[in-house]
Amino acid sequence: MEPVSGVPAKINARFQINFLLESSGVIYLFMGIRAYLYVPALWFEIRAEAPDHLMDRVKVLGRLQGGMELAGAVLLVAGAALVVAMLAAEGAALVYRRRGSTGFGVLDNESEQEDFFQVSSVELE
């Protein structure tokens, strides 16, 4: 049995067929039987073993599980970092809004905004 995946490496199957003998008034050989008697009649056994190249592939699956756990942990940390960064950015934007600033430091008052967005007219000759 492969310990990580639980895939069986070796399999044994055994089977036995028994006959039940009872006392019989017709067959002389069975007339003296006083109780039920089970007699083994047939026994067979089948064994199977996975080839080494297949078991090597199963072992790779075990290593893959560890890699997937590591990738999941990395993605969890990255997601948590993005949430913290998003909350920090939203907090900074809230602070700038309360101070009356745009947060960019370029156009902090209305007169600067009007000057920036004013388009000069040019006459074509």
pTM for the model stands at 0.39
Give the tens place of pLDDT for each residue, 3-31.
666 677 788 899 999 988 777 777 777 77
Domain limits at 74? 63-103
Instruction: Judge contact between 18 and 40, C-beta under 8 A.
Output: yes
67 and 42 together in one domain = no
Q: How many C-beta atoms lie closer than 10 Å to residue 121's C-beta?
A: 5
68: its two tokens: 């997937």
Output the average pLDDT for the chain: 77
**Number of domains forming the structure of the chain:** 2
Q: Which residues pair with 43 in a beta bridge?
A: 16
- Please say if the pLDDT value at position 100 is more than 90: no
5 is a domain residue: yes
119 is a domain residue: no
68 and 27 together in one domain = no
